[in-house]
Structure formats: structure tokens, C-alpha cells
Structure 1
């Protein structure tokens, strides 16, 4: 959502990084710090999140995401300030859901809803939502048909970074079929194989 007010600095990068590292998440969503991409900004911190991962450090078959906080104290015209968030979220889907023509629109609306519900204020948002359908052949024929939704987005935050991180976590869980309030609900298996 566009905010007509000039962006306010959320806090110093060190404070934002400490805040991100101190956050707790729902028990079925595991978040860890990963190396941040280099060359995008003088300061960067990246997180990876996985819904019910089977092995530490391996993308979950239920849903996975990345969150990168970028900071350039001199500001960036394209960002409209000195802060930028880049996020990624993906989850496997049942093939029937993957063919829904509104799926990409729904995925984007879930991001906007998550940001709004967490009080995460922002401007200069952009992104893509991609749905992929796949069919296995030859030695992969046994994997059958599959679908996946992937959302890549970026925006410039104007409020506490913690609100943005929590919104990203909520988005990844939503894409994986775990809406807010569904903590500790049993899941019997991924909705399809996690082939990308």
C-alpha cells in the first residue's frame, strides 16, 4: 500500500538485525540465518524459513521461504529510502489448485493481507507470483503430476522490521496450507512431491 508520508527509518541496521535474530516463530516453522547475498547493499541479513522441515538445512516439502533485509545508509532512489526487503516463498500444491487462474492473484493478496494484519507499513512494493505445473516422464513418471506456487516480492519498510518478518513467515505458512491459528495441526504428508 502506498504511504503518502515520507518513509521513516525503522532503526539502525544493527538494531534491526538484533530484532530479527530474537524473533520466535510458530513451532512448525523453523527459521535460521543464512548468508546474505553480496553486492546488493552495504548491509544485509538473510533468513531461511521452512514449514516442518524433515532435515535441517534442506528445503521443506511443505513450503519454504527466504527473507533478506537490505540497508544502504546513503539511500537508494529505486527503494525510495535506505531500507529494502526482498522475500521469496514457495510451496507445492495439488494439481487442481495449480490450474486455478486466480492463484497468482490470491498469493499476492495473501502477502498484502499478512503485511496489513501485522501492521507492517511499506511503500514501493513490487513482485511476481508464478504457478508451475509439472509432469514426470521416463524415470520420473512415478512422481506424477504436480504444481507449485512461488512468490518473489520486494518493498521498502517504514515500520518495525519485526512486523515484516512475521508477515513473511505468515505468508510462507499460508502458501503451505497452514493459516494463522493452525499451529500443531497434524499434516500427513506434503500435498505433492516437492519437485521444482
Structure 2
């Protein structure tokens, strides 16, 4: 957590409490990292990865920004900024709808979760990598990157963290869990102590 002021605002403290101990799928691993210092007076950042069969299938970052004075472009005093990256099959690079489908994953996860969010925006980037020379045997690969941000309408940011973790899982190719089902694992996957 970063903050220029010595006292943490109550709304930011409530948001932090909502993030602590939040459970995610067993394939999702999270670690808190330093938040950006120049974008907002208070911030928190979490890095994540999705691991299936001992292989990393998606990575990302979840950042909470808080400006007690609010920001007009945010339409509020909080902003959630997310990043998700994954490598996909090369055949998908040619699909003209890939960007639209990937953005739909963002909007559908937000809608399905029922979290309040306004002013959502973002980008979807795909990069096709072809190898040559000594690396010619390496298959072509598509890297997909989704950057999305939105303004939460409450301080329950734990629900927004779950939306992002689900988005990483979706982009990584994991099937969605049926409604009402929570994936259990012997090891706890939570944010914070």
C-alpha cells in the first residue's frame, strides 16, 4: 500500500479489508507487490498467475487506486486497473473476432459477478511471434494481453479481485466453475495473511 498521507482514509481501509483473505480458485496464485506511487495518493497492487498441471497458463496484475478527492475521469474515488496476459494457439491470431471476444470476457465477468462498476474501458492486444534461424523449430505463438479498468461503486473490492482472478482463469483456458460451486484445495489461496 502506498500513500502520501500518514493516515489511511476509512474508505481505503474498508477496501483493503475486503481484499484480505479472499479465496480464489486453487489454480490462482496471488502475491501483493508495491502499488504505483504517482497515479493516486493511495494504492495497492497484486500480481497473479494461473498454474495448471505445473504450467503457467496466464499472468496478470490487479491495482487499486484511491484518491479521496475523486477524479472526474474515474467518476469516483476508486479505480481498479487490471492486466491479464496469456499465450494462445497461433490459429487464433487470424481470428478477426479475437479482440471482441476477449473484451466480452471482461464485460461478462463483471456482469455475471454482480459487482457495481462504471466507466469500464480497456484494450485488447494480440502479438503473433514467429521464430527464425536457430529458433526456427519453435512453433508460432500468440500472446494476448487485456488491459481493463473500471470504477467500483462500493468499497467491496474483494469481489472485483475475484472478477479479475476469474478473467485470468478464462484467458488461460480453464473451464468456468458452475454457479454455486467453489473449487477447494488443501492449500489456501488468499490475499494477505
Q: Which residue of 2 aligns with 1:133?
A: 128
1:86-105 paired onto structure 2 within 5 Å = 86-105=81-100
Q: Secondary structure at the match of 1:150?
A: strand
What's the offset of the Cα at 1:20?
Answer: 1.2
SS of alignment partner, residue 177 of structure 1? coil
User: How do 1:30-179 residues align onto structure 2 when only pairs under 5 Å count?
Assistant: 30-52=29-51, 61-159=56-154, 160-179=156-175
* Structure 1 residue 54: Cα displacement: 9.1
* Structure 1 position 53, deviation (Å): 7.5
SS of corresponding position for 2:176: coil
Q: Structure 1 residues 141, 21: CA separation in 2 closer, same or farther (over 3 Å shift)?
A: farther
TM-score for the superposition, normalised by structure 1? 0.81
Structure 1 portions without partners, runs of 5+: 1-10, 185-196
Give 5+ residue unaligned stretches, structure 2. 1-9, 185-193
SS in 1 for 2:177: coil
Displacement after TM superposition at 1:179 (Å): 2.7
Of the two structures, which has the highest relative contact order with CA contacts closer than 8 Å and spacing of 6 or more?
A: 2
Q: Which residue of 2 aligns with 1:181?
A: 177
Report if the CA contact (8 A) 1:79-1:124 is conserved. Answer: yes
Give the secondary-structure state (helix, strand or coil) at the position aligned to 2:57: coil
Distance in 2 of aligned mates of 1:174 and 1:17: 25
2:41 aligned with 1:17? no
1:130-178 deviation line (CA, Å, top 9, x unaligned): 1111101123323221112110011111132122111111111000001
Question: Hey, what's the Cα distance between the residues in 2 that align with 1:36 and 1:139?
Answer: 40
Alpha carbons of structure 1 residues 147 and 16: separation in structure 2 relative to 1, 3 Å: same
Preserved CA contact (<8 Å) 2:45 2:63 = yes
